[in-house]
């Protein structure tokens, strides 16, 4: 049975047409769910009784729940328990431009990137659309403020749960839904090429981030097994295609691992790889965890890497560190719970 928050507005329109109702009823559903935050269809006063009862019988409406929260000054990390007792997490970050939430898209992850806590615990299942939507709703309720931007970069590979993630994006982007502008929604992928091509043909103006983390094929295959299936060269060609088709700049995520991918040679290789592309590189200081051997690159090393990219004509930033005093590495809070 579908959840009442599994459907985008266009999916609700199809539902209403299927029961011989007018499709504008979909807009009214969204107003009840996301504006009034009333989840019981029996209380939807502008629907006739038989429609209310049909929706009530046809859709489930359970909530995930917050079971743990860790916080430091600008970051809150939430652990959620799902109906089947699995756990996922989300991170709330306070920026000068507003509040951003990093949501999970799967329970566990099969991509097995060697530096990532999420991939250490294998994928159990995809998250349903409502389980992603509710991460935002519950955080908004907890802090009594609106979220202004969303990053799909928590536990899981979003393009490995493509259909549910696309419905989620449509719901949160809808002007009758959670009302988060497309330019404030970022999907991060390690590079599942066929799904990137599908994504670029959708009429969504969201941001794409590529988790690159290596400057050559050999290194990337060593730390990111996905590269053995979709090599760096093929990924770069797809990136060119995506940028040409969407006319949108792509973010390149590059986590800085001490003595692994942070040499000046790596920086020069990255310049050659990205030169002339409409991208900007986000250098990410690594969040160390007790289960993984990698260490964070020293600050001076990160800045030399940054300088090399800058001199090579690459747009580059160093991500501000969030949550280093809490379990903010992706999957870290969940792995503690599983342990």
pLDDT in tens, 247-293: 999 999 999 999 999 999 999 999 999 999 999 999 999 988 877 89
Q: Do domains 9-58 and 65-338 have the same CATH topology?
A: no
- Domain residue extents for the chain: 9-58, 65-338
Mean pLDDT computed over every residue of the chain: 94
CATH code matching the domain that covers 65-338, chosen among 3.60.110.10, 3.20.20.70, 3.30.750.80, 3.40.50.460: 3.20.20.70
Q: Is the pTM of this model over 0.85?
A: yes
What is the rounded average pLDDT of the residues 32-36? 97
Q: Is the pLDDT of residue 328 over 90?
A: no
* CATH class belonging to 9-58: mainly alpha
Q: Is the pLDDT of residue 332 over 70?
A: no
Q: Is 89 noted as a catalytic residue in this protein?
A: yes
* Bridge pairing between strands 279-285 and 315-318: parallel
d(CA 226, CA 219): 12
Average pLDDT over residues 61-67: 96
pLDDT digits (tens, 9 = 90+) for 80-104: 999 999 999 999 999 888 999 999 9
Angle between helix axes 264-274 and 299-311 (nearest 10 degrees) is 30
How many Å is the Cα radius of gyration of the chain? 21
Catalytic residue among 89, 106, 117, 128: 89
């Amino acid at each position: 049975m579908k959840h009442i928050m599994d459907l985008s507005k266009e999916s609700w329109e199809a539902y209403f047409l299927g029961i011989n109702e007018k499709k504008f009823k979909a807009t009214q559903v969204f107003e009840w769910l996301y504006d009034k935050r009333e989840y019981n269809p029996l209380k939807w006063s502008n629907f006739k009784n038989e429609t209310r009862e049909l929706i009530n019988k046809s859709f489930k409406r359970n909530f995930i729940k917050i079971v743990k929260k860790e916080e430091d000054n600008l970051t809150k990390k939430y652990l959620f328990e799902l109906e089947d007792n699995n756990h996922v997490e989300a991170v709330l970050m306070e920026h000068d431009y507003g509040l951003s939430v990093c949501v999970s898209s799967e329970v566990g992850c099969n991509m097995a990137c060697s530096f990532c806590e999420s991939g250490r615990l294998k994928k159990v299942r995809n998250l349903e659309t409502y389980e992603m939507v509710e991460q935002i709703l519950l955080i908004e309720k907890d802090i009594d403020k609106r979220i202004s931007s969303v990053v799909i970069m928590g536990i899981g590979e979003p393009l490995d749960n493509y259909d549910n993630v696309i419905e989620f994006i449509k719901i949160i982007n809808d002007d009758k839904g959670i009302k988060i502008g497309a330019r404030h929604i970022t999907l991060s992928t390690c590079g599942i090429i066929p799904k990137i091509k599908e994504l670029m043909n959708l009429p969504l103006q969201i941001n794409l981030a590529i988790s690159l983390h290596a400057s050559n094929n050999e290194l990337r295959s060593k730390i990111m097994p996905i590269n053995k299936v979709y090599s760096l060269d093929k990924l770069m060609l797809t990136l060119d295609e995506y940028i040409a088709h969407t006319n949108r700049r792509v973010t390149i995520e590059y986590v800085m691992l001490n003595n692994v991918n942070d040499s000046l040679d790596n920086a020069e290789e990255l310049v050659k790889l990205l030169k002339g592309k409409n991208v900007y590189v986000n250098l990410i200081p690594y969040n160390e965890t007790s289960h993984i051997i990698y260490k964070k690159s020293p600050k001076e090393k990160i800045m030399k890497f940054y300088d090399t990219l800058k001199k090579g004509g690459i747009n580059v930033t160093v991500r501000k560190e969030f949550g280093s005093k809490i379990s903010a590495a992706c999957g870290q809070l969940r792995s503690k719970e599983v342990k």
